Structure formats: structure tokens, C-alpha cells
Structure 1
């Protein structure tokens, strides 16, 4: 699917990974909104953690310096990610997939790219310089979408309802 085919995604059902080509998904994937990753912690309870992210075109990449979430993701790699804009109407990108964890000597390249996107060149460079020391180790968390949902509350609504049906809710 090419960029010119973006209008063709309107008829796709929620769950179709081709929804990544929709204008809403593309806006959110290139935005400075945080990705919220949901996973099951080592104690069996659900967790949601907001993180900077980088979209490679095929994977959502998040990075961390370690901790309990790495162990939890290795044990239970099924995750859900939400990237949303608190606009009116809201725009929401929902992604499901499996987290693949790779330990990296030094700084994860996508971590650098994310900091530059979120903070701009000067702040991005300062943020990276603050953590880039000899012996630094990070973990790259890559999620290749296997299910994608898009909500724009105009043409794509929760539950797959039509705009008319959505507007009728609560009016009985």
C-alpha cells in the first residue's frame, strides 16, 4: 500500500495491520505523544507504562535501562500499546503484538532518534549526553504490530459502530 492509498483504509476492520497507513495512525506514529505499553508484570498483575517511542516503519521501538519490566516482558511478551492525542475529537492508535527484547551495549539507536524527535536537536543531544557513559547497557523493546485499531471518533468509532449509531447511544 502506498501513501496515495491512505483513503483505502477507511473500510478496513479494526485489527487489520494495514490501518497503520491511515492518516490518524501516521500522525500519531510521528508525534511526540507517549506510547503507553500494557503488559503483565512478574507478579501477574497488569501494568501500563508510558514511554518515548520510535516507529521504524515496521516496529514500535521502546528503550529502557533495565528493571522489572524487562524480566516481565521476557516471561510474557504479549503487549498492547496505545498512542493517543487528547484532542477534540480524540485520535487513538491501538497496537497489539509481541515484545522482542534485545540487550544493547551502549545507547539504543532508536532511543536517540526518539529523544531528538521529542526534544529537538539541542535537548535531544543533552538528554543523550546525560546517559551515554562507558559501560552503559540498554534494552531495546521492539513490537511488530499483529493487530491495529484506529479511532478518530468521526469515521472510526469504538465497537465498530457507525457515527449515527454512536451518536444515538445514551438517548433512550
Structure 2
């Protein structure tokens, strides 16, 4: 999949709702032991890249230094579901301080009353963070209105041909 195709998918209204909404991404990666992991994680977009930040000594940082490939999903639980599926390659960078995007991502998931206390705790805790920047290599939006999983499309087509 090329970058123009990915950009088209990310520009769709449902994709934009998911990318800018309060739902965390679910990040899938291979742990150092080779077993898969999936974790919820806050994120933000910088241009066409999906970005996250975390504790420098977290297990995911060590694993992503070894195997940079990831998959992510951002989805809703309402019916019909809206699901943005993403794959990419991660760059791992240690930075001083707290990335502004991390603070923006935090604001997306909490109330105005919760944010000041969270911000105070974050500033007291982190002197440095690791920024995980995902260059997307594949994207698919399933909105169950205009797009469906391929297997469902195939089943519908097979039934219509019968």
C-alpha cells in the first residue's frame, strides 16, 4: 500500500473521528520473548505519522528496539462499529522532558477537572520519555456502512451470485 492510499483512508471522516477521539489505540507488538502483546496507549498524529510516548525503561521500548513492526487498532464499541486498522514501522527516540503531543493525547481522554492533577503528576514524574513514531505502511477503515471486512464482502458476493 502506498502513502497516497494510506492518506486517503486517514482523511475519511470516520478515520478522523477515531484519530481525534478519546479512544486509545491498541498497540500490538512482539515482546522480547517472541510472544505477542497488545496494550492500550494514548497517541497523537504528527502529519502522516502516529506518535506515542512512554517510560524509557518500559518493556515495549526494549521490544520495539528489537522488532520495529507494529499493528494498531482504534475502534468504537457502538453499533455499527467503526474500526481503523493500521500497520507500520516504529522509530524509538529518547527525548528530554515531556512531548507536547503527549499532553495533548492526555487531554483527549480525560475531563477538564481531571487534567490539571494528571498534568501535575506527569510533570513531577518524567524528566525524559521515549517517543514512538510509527510510519504507517498499511491502513484500512471498517465502518460497516461503506466498508466491510473482505471476508464479509466475499460472502455477500457469493450469495448474490447464487
Smaller-chain TM-score range? 0.7 to 0.9
Task: From the superposition, tell whether residues 122 and 59 of structure 1 become closer, same or farther in structure 2 (CA, over 3 Å).
Answer: farther
Report how far residue 89 of structure 1 moved. Answer: 0.3
- The answer to whether 1:54 aligns with 2:40 is no
Structure 1, unaligned runs of 5 or more: 1-14
156-165 vs 55-64, greater mean Cα deviation: 156-165
Structure 2, unaligned runs of 5 or more: none
Q: Number of residues paired by the alignment?
A: 156
- The answer to whether 1:43 aligns with 2:33 is yes
Query: RMSD of the alignment, in Å?
Result: 2.5
- The answer to whether 1:29 aligns with 2:19 is yes
Structure 2 length-normalised TM: 0.86
- The answer to whether 1:65 aligns with 2:55 is yes
Q: Is the 8 A contact 1:117 1:124 kept in 2?
A: no
Higher relative contact order (CA 8 A, sep 6+): 2
Q: Is the 8 A contact 1:84 1:90 kept in 2?
A: yes
- The answer to whether 1:108 aligns with 2:99 is yes
Structure 1 length-normalised TM: 0.81
State the alpha-carbon separation in 2 of the partners of residues 162 and 70 from structure 1: 38
Matched residue of 2:136: which SS?
A: strand
State the alpha-carbon separation in 1 of the partners of residues 40 and 17 from structure 2: 18
